[in-house]
A and B are shown apart, each in its own frame.
Chain A
Amino acid sequence: MKPTPLTIAAVIAVVVTYIRAIFFTPYEAVQGPVQKIFYLHAPAAWVAFMAFGLVAIASCLYLWLREDRLDRIAESSAEVGVVFTTVVLTTGPLWGRPVWGAYWTWDARLTLTLFLWFIYVAYLVMRSALPDRAMRARYSAVLGILGALLIPFIHLSVYLFRTLHPRPIVMKPSAPSLPGEMLTTLFLAFASFTLLYVALLRARYRYAVTRDGANPAEDHRAR
Chain B
Amino acid sequence: MPDNSFYYHTGYAVATGIYVVYAILLIVRWNRVKARLPGKDE
Residues of A within 8 A of B (CB): 1-2, 14, 18, 22, 27, 29-34, 36-37, 40-41, 44, 83, 86-87, 90-91, 94-95, 97-98, 196, 200, 203-204, 206-207, 210-211, 213-215, 223
Contact = CB atoms under 8 A, between A and B. Distances in A.
Interface of B: 1-5, 7-8, 10-12, 14-16, 18-19, 22-23, 26-27, 29-31, 33-34, 36-37, 40, 42
B11 A40 contact: yes
A14 B23 CA distance: 14
Contacts, number: 91
Contacts of A18: 12, 16
Main secondary structure of the interface of B (DSSP, over half): helix
Contacts of B3: 32-33
Nearest to B14: A90
B8 A86 contact: no
A77 to B, nearest CB: 14
